[in-house]
């Protein structure tokens, strides 16, 4: 038997004890989830218990859905994009299904932003070593797992074994999630001029930087390098972590740039006679470890002196 549109449309609907609008599709012996779009996203809870569903997938966008019950089915696979289609799902009941390995429950991470309660009792995976700690790791907001409250000691043990909890980016336009977001750092001038970003240690630049005022760009680079004032009132540049470079080393290199040397660099910026000259000065600042005194004078006049 298939879950036809007419079956979904004529199924029992009522207010459950929590005051949620619930749709009952239980006990129909259907093998797959389909045609839930017929509900027009009118329900907070859908009960698909006591069927023969093999895969937890093919779910349409249901922005109102908070509870999904699939106990007593045959689920052995979960869609990796499930969270994109049920962005508010907070309770998922998968008791008595056929999930066997940690890899098979890993797609639940797509629900990490919203899921608070989960039951996987009666699945073989619950007998796998570190199952509970792994589940807590991929679902950082989880409060109750298998009808047992998640304790702070378990969170600490999970982090020790698997590392920090999975991080999530902001939701996209369709409510989806981006997982394992790489660290991104940015330095921009105070007037919103140039902005350069380092993603996983590599430079990423957009087309917008091509039209940026080179004076503003060089000034921003000077402030970022020295962490001080370049002659105008400005805020200190934020500390940015770079792989392989300690924060203490970064701080010491900035401190080494004296007020006199900063004045020399600022004068070179203001006296630059061409765009090429300005780009050359900006390139020198981007190196991040300038010499001082006479060596700095030589470098400003002849950039190839240290190449």
Report residue 103's pLDDT band, with 50, 70 and 90 as the boundaries.
very high
Nearest-angstrom CA–CA distance, 255 and 297: 18
Strand order through the sheet with 21-24: 13-15, 21-24, 45-47, 67-69, 91-93, 117-119, 144-145, 148-149
pTM: 0.57
Q: Per-residue pLDDT tens for 119-171? A: 999 999 999 999 999 999 999 999 999 999 999 999 999 999 999 887 665 44
Average pLDDT, the chain: 75
Comparing CA positions, the residue from 57, 52, 6 lying closest to residue 28 is 52
Token couple for 165: 């909890």
CB 68 within 8 A of CB 86: yes
Distance CA 131, CA 117 (A): 16
Q: Which residue has the tokens 């289609």?
A: 85
User: Contacts by 37-43 with C-beta closer than 8 Å and gap 24+?
Assistant: 38/5, 38/8, 38/9, 39/8, 41/65, 43/13
CB 291 within 8 A of CB 299: yes
CA dist 123 and 225 (Å) reads 56
Token pair belonging to 213: 């005022």
* Cα-only R_g, the chain: 28
DSSP assignment letter at 38: G
pLDDT-above-90 percentage for the chain: 52
Residues paired with residue 118 on neighbouring β-strands, in sequence order: 92, 145
């Amino acid at each position: 038997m298939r879950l036809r549109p007419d079956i979904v449309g004529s199924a029992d609907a009522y207010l459950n004890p929590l005051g949620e609008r619930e749709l009952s599709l239980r006990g129909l012996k259907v093998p797959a989830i389909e045609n839930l779009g017929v509900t027009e996203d009118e329900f907070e809870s859908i009960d698909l218990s006591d069927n023969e569903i093999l895969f937890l997938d093919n779910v349409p966008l249901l922005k109102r859905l908070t509870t999904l019950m699939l106990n007593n089915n045959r689920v052995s696979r979960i869609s990796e994009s499930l969270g994109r289609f049920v962005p508010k799902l907070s309770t998922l009941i998968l008791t008595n299904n056929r999930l066997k390995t940690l890899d098979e429950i890993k797609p639940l991470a797509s629900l990490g932003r919203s899921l608070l309660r989960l039951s996987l009792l009666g699945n073989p995976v619950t007998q796998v070593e570190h199952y509970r700690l792994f589940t807590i790791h991929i679902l950082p907001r989880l409060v109750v797992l298998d009808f047992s409250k998640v304790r702070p000691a378990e969170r600490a043990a999970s982090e020790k074994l698997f590392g920090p909890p999975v991080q999530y980016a902001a939701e996209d336009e369709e409510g989806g999630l981006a997982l394992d977001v790489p660290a991104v750092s940015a330095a921009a001038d105070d007037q919103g001029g140039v902005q350069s970003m380092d993603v996983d240690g590599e430079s990423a630049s957009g087309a917008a930087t091509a039209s940026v005022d080179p004076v503003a760009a060089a000034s921003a680079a000077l402030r970022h390098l020295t962490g001080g004032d370049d002659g105008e009132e400005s805020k200190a540049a934020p500390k940015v972590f770079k792989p392989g470079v300690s924060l203490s080393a970064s701080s010491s290199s900035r401190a080494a740039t004296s007020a006199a040397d900063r004045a020399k660099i600022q004068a070179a910026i203001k006296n630059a006679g061409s765009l090429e000259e300005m780009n050359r000065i900006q390139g020198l600042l981007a190196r991040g470890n300038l010499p001082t005194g006479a060596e700095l004078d030589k470098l400003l006049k002849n950039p190839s002196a240290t190449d």
